Chain A
Amino acid sequence: MTILKNRLFWPSLILAILLGINMFTSQQFLMIQDGHLFGTLIDILRGSAPLILVALGMTLVIATGGIDLSVGSVMAISGAVACLLISELGDQNSVGSVLLIIGIAIGASLLLGLWNGVLVAAVGIQPIIATLILMVAGRGVAQLITEGQIINVRSEPYATLGSGFFLAVPVAFLIAAAAVVLTILLTRRTALGLLLESVGGSPTASRLAGIGARRITIMVYVVAGGLAGLAGLIYSANIRSADSISAGSLIELDAILAVVIGGTALIGGRFSVAGTVLGAILIQTLTVTVVAIDIRPEANLLFKAVVVVALCLSQSPDFRAKVFGRFKSRPAAREVAAA
């Protein structure tokens, strides 16, 4: 029964059920085509990469008791910067220039993250307000960069980021996986994770205990900005164009949902990177499943809502105790009566 109490048991179970459904509906769930892995499972892993990256940053921010609403706008800006610069290249297929441009775009995203971090930690604005500024203004900046148009690029090295394969595995997923492994190593093998949780628990107590709470807070926003920028690059590389209006729109909500599904509380403190990754993959699988099982477009948000509500209820110990507790207590009561 202990496995039932693990907070990741229920999300895992629902993910397994959804994947099971997809195995039946899909013609090609997992196979090899053109020398690389192919099929619904690969589509899900590749498609969930931007959300995993954004949710990863969000987990760290939420662990310190903050929140970052600007991630979608940062995605749009980073994609816009990259596509604008690449479209002006003489040779769009030059790997060196594309790598340099990717670096510039991520650099810009880190700066945007620094802006958020300074507003929150140095100026002392509440995180939800501080990041709301960039959420609204950032989308405007992205549209200014692209002049309201969709910028197309014909760069193969750049497209690889979104739809390429390395060792038969999608590059986008490898990038997300690398970011996850790095985050887990940094937070669980060093004292960083502990410091994050202590800042989330109580910034004042942490500062009095000698932890640079302000520096740590700024750092998580910078990291969240960088990861969102990377997600924006994958998003735009996937469609070989910068769509500043729809890139990353409402992704902040999906990211927060992924964090919550993963068992990290919004008040800060204890956090679970693995849980967030599970949550992000679950959300993407849900999106794919809606189409695969042919739910009508009008009902598709409702279907997602029902699954999410069921999931959140199943994670609540109080709710479980009420529903399952009844089944358990009855035989016990009968034994007592018999005795």
Chain B
Amino acid sequence: MRRSMSVAVLGGLLAVSTLAGCGGDKEAGSTGGGDDKIVLGFSQVGAESGWRTANTESIKASAKAAGIELKFSDAQGKQENQISDIRGFITQKVDVIAFSPVVTSGWDAVLKEAKDANIPVILTDRAVDSQDTSLYKSFIGSDFKVEGEKAGEWLAKEYEGKTGDVNIVELQGTTGSAPAIDRQTGFAEKIKANPNLKVVKTQTGDFKRADGKTVMETFLQSTPKIDVLYAHNDDMGLGAIEAIEAAGKVPGKDIKIITVDAVRDGMTALAAGKINFIVECSPLLGDQLMEVVKKVNKGETVEKRILTKEGTFTPEQAKTELPNRKY
């Protein structure tokens, strides 16, 4: 009996202290904006790929250049880590919070806490599916559908005025992932107008080199004539090049190759003429992020959806760009 009493008392104390904590945050949030140096809390997905590492480095470098104090945390691919990181930023009373959500759902509660504490939130690279869009100020990142469209446009132009059938095979990313779905639909929409451009086979290569190679081997055996390969990232394309070469064909000539990403390995193959066209998916969004951070900190309104500045590359452009590729 005595024990349960003490538990109740302790629970009561905790509840009071949490309430007090919330109140304190609110007051600090309204005055905290007046500091001369902006404090940005950033929670990264993890370090799962070279692309992600370049993304992290870009954010760190841009923060330094913009004179913004960066509190960086790595969620190691886990949503629960990321939620506790964001709660940490709220208690530390940072001026702005930015993060790349590990998954799309389940953010409403923690984003509400940030909003109640008057801390603006910016999403980078990946979106959340919250119905209440007032929970975040802006989303900076690539539009995967536009990337697919760029790839489709290039192909339609490449075969402009030609009527012969063009057999396309597609290496998809991880089944069900946003980039895989959007890159597929964007591409399909742009080639729809040309009935001679046909996607004859489409299969997942899980964004991996080895899987890209295995699937391409089977494509080559089971499809009589392949003219074009569209791979949703450079790595699968690079794996497929190995398979094409092993089959005694010349990548880039016998089979035209389009990929997405433009990481250094992909650009090297592009410069060597083994890939014909790469649509960039840039991790270097640091500068754009810092601009938005400064604006929201001043209370200015920003665009809800900001696209990363990215281009496309042909083999000639790749040769000049390659020495500058950091990732």
Q: Which residues of A contact B (CB under 8 A)?
A: 25-29, 33-34, 38-40, 43, 47, 143, 148-150, 152, 163, 235, 238-241, 243, 245-247, 287-288, 290-292, 294, 297-298, 300
Contacts and interface: CB of A to CB of B under 8 A. Distances in A.
Contact residues on B (Cβ < 8 Å of other chain), bracket? 35 or more
A192 B218 CA distance: 40
A163 B242 contact: yes
A287 B210 contact: no
B145 interface: no
Given A238-B242, A245-B49, A298-B175, A287 B203 contact: no
Contacts of B206: 246
A292 B246 contact: no
Given A291-B215, A298-B176, A241 B209 contact: yes
Nearest to A294: B201
Nearest to B245: A163
Contact of A27 (B175, B208, B210, B224): B224
Nearest to A235: B210
Given A148-B53, A150-B265, A47 B214 contact: yes
Given A40-B218, A150-B235, A241-B209, A297 B242 contact: no
A247 B211 CA distance: 10
Interface of B: 47-50, 52-53, 172, 175-176, 201-204, 206, 208-211, 213-215, 217-219, 221-224, 235, 238-239, 242, 246-248, 265
A263 B222 CA distance: 32
Contact of A243 (B202, B208, B214): B208
Contacts of A298: 175-176
A43 B219 CA distance: 12
Given A27-B222, A150-B235, A288-B218, A239 B176 contact: no
A168 B172 CA distance: 33
B262 to A, nearest CB: 15
Contact of A287 (B213, B214, B242): B214
Given A33-B248, A239-B213, A292 B242 contact: no
A27 B249 CA distance: 15
Given A33-B248, A40-B218, A294-B201, A240 B48 contact: no
A163 B248 CA distance: 13
Contacts of A43: 214, 217-218, 221
Contacts of B175: 297-298, 300
A238 B210 contact: yes
Contact of B202 (A143, A290, A297): A297
Contacts of A148: 47-50, 52-53
B48 A245 contact: yes
Contact of A291 (B208, B219, B242, B248): B219
Given A297-B202, A297-B203, A27 B209 contact: no
Nearest to B239: A239
Nearest to B208: A246
A40 B246 CA distance: 12
21 contacts: A25-B222, A27-B224, A28-B221, A149-B50, A150-B265, A238-B242, A239-B238, A239-B242, A241-B238, A243-B208, A243-B210, A246-B208, A247-B210, A290-B203, A291-B203, A291-B219, A292-B221, A294-B201, A294-B203, A297-B175, A300-B175
